[in-house]
Structure 1
Amino acid sequence: MIGAAAFGFIERCGSHRCSTDLLKDILTSSRLLGFEHLIFSGVPVGGQKLAPMVELMGWPQGWFERYCEKEHSRSDAVCIYSAKSRFPFNWDEIPECWTGTPESKLVHDEATEFGIRSGFAVPMHAFKHWQSVLSFASGQLRCNMSEHEKSLLVTMAIYAGMSIEAFIYGEREVDPLTERQKEVLLWAAEGKSAWDVSVILGISEATVRKHEKAAREALGVSTTIQAVVEAIRLRAIHP
């Protein structure tokens, strides 16, 4: 039954035309595995705010508002580990160096007030953000899934991410960078400083930094190095 529900969701992914329909569908399917809530978003790094990075919001009413108001993403072990891990993980598999801090424990305790006690996270690369994660949440004390069930959930998450990217492609060009921004990032990839690039291109250092900032914003990252890596991944530049 679980397998049929998962593959049914995968088959329907391409037919969804908005994130609301996608959210309803994946919530219905993931409930069969014991997950009542989820969030799909970019992973905040370097002081980024969570709210503008959210693509699917299926958290309990009130929890998202409190989470953002208190900037819990700075100390939430799930959020922090999602930026570091390339592989899916149960929340209780996160090393204690991140779960054991007073700040992280506070986030966990407050989450339980809203019926969130355990979960399973699927980090992934995405077009819009440096790193994204689809995090499933449960009111159960532990997530007891077989490896097969985990594989089904990961596959569902990947297809949900692909659907989100399809929505984005419908709203913006696949290549989000201007030619000058690409040029600046190419020189940054060669290890050139903003001053070096200004000399090479015959423009001011301030203008170079302006192009770097615009490229970071267009790619949804916080540093120029991340922008270089993301631009290469998107095949926008070819060092």
Structure 2
Amino acid sequence: MSGSTFDHATEAFDFIDSLDHLDSPGKVVEAVAKTFSLFGFENFIITGLPSPRERFEQVVLLKKWPRGWFDIYAREDYVRSDPIIRLCRNTTQPFEWSEAPYDRAGEPRAAEIMERATDFRMKEGFCLPIHGINGYEACFSMSGVDLDLSSRTKPALHLMAMYAFERARELLKPSLHAGSGLLTPREREALIWAAAGKSAADTGEILGITERTVTAHIASACQKLDAVNKTQAVARALQYKLIGI
């Protein structure tokens, strides 16, 4: 692991550890704002994706958005035409805002949303779609004007954002869920190495097992933790104290 990668991983784990000691959503907002500003982010929102019968403002969990932009976004019901939200519904992979497609000529409202956002210093962004196996849909979207988005920073941002979402959701709506069944020692090991940024192949070499076996352990852990991907499983395993950092 390179020095830069190690620094990003350390920052992520320090952030995760700090969230466990916070006892209110407001404190989570402050912690997220402080840490994510190190990567150039000025604004963020953690929100559910509304159904046709729900208003955007009804499903927002936490936010640090410019007041004027939030009022405009909610009043104009931009969530129905936002290309970022649309892509969130159709992928489980984190993406940069520039990767969310829309037709400027054929979708003038989508173009309007993206252009008006820049008036509030929301020029570039990074978004984490969040999907539950029971159909729950949400996202963690963050933005700024000069972002540090690289192959080294994105994994750290992904894990930190996922953990912040889980912590916010727990504080807002406490759950007794602590993992659907205990993880096996191998499942815990696989997630610990995944948290450290190791691939399935790397983990297999470390543990002396095949890459396929590692992948199977992670898939089993995802199922037990109601997670749709490895990063969400790591975040929940950390939250439920099933693995340590």
Match of residue 61 from structure 1:
67
Match of residue 122 from structure 2:
116
Alignment partner of 1:150 is 2:154: yes
Matched-pair contact (CA < 8 Å) for 1:77–1:99: no
Match of residue 43 from structure 2:
37
Alignment partner of 1:73 is 2:79: yes
When residues 99 and 88 of structure 1 are mapped into structure 2, their CA distance, relative to the original with a 3 A threshold, is: farther
CA distance in 1 between counterparts of 2:114 and 2:165 reads 26
Consecutive unaligned residues in structure 1, runs of 5 or more: 175-232, 235-239
When residues 78 and 61 of structure 1 are mapped into structure 2, their CA distance, relative to the original with a 3 A threshold, is: same
Match of residue 166 from structure 2:
162
When residues 134 and 100 of structure 1 are mapped into structure 2, their CA distance, relative to the original with a 3 A threshold, is: farther
Matched residues, number: 173
CA distance in 1 between counterparts of 2:106 and 2:10 reads 38
Matched-pair contact (CA < 8 Å) for 2:130–2:138: yes
SS where residue 10 of structure 1 aligns? Answer: helix
Deviations along 1:6-50, whole A, 9 cap, x unmatched?
A: 322111111111111001101111111111100000012334211
Alignment partner of 1:86 is 2:92: yes
TM-score (ref. length: structure 2): 0.64
CA distance in 1 between counterparts of 2:15 and 2:104 reads 33
Matched-pair contact (CA < 8 Å) for 2:94–2:128: yes
Match of residue 20 from structure 2:
14
Matched-pair contact (CA < 8 Å) for 1:67–1:73: yes
Aligned-residue RMSD, C-alpha: 2.5
Q: Find the structure with the greater CA-based Rg.
A: 1
Matched-pair contact (CA < 8 Å) for 1:2–1:32: no
CA distance in 2 between counterparts of 1:41 and 1:69 reads 16
129, 140, 156: which one pairs with 1:134?
140
CA distance in 2 between counterparts of 1:120 and 1:51 reads 21
CA distance in 2 between counterparts of 1:99 and 1:46 reads 25
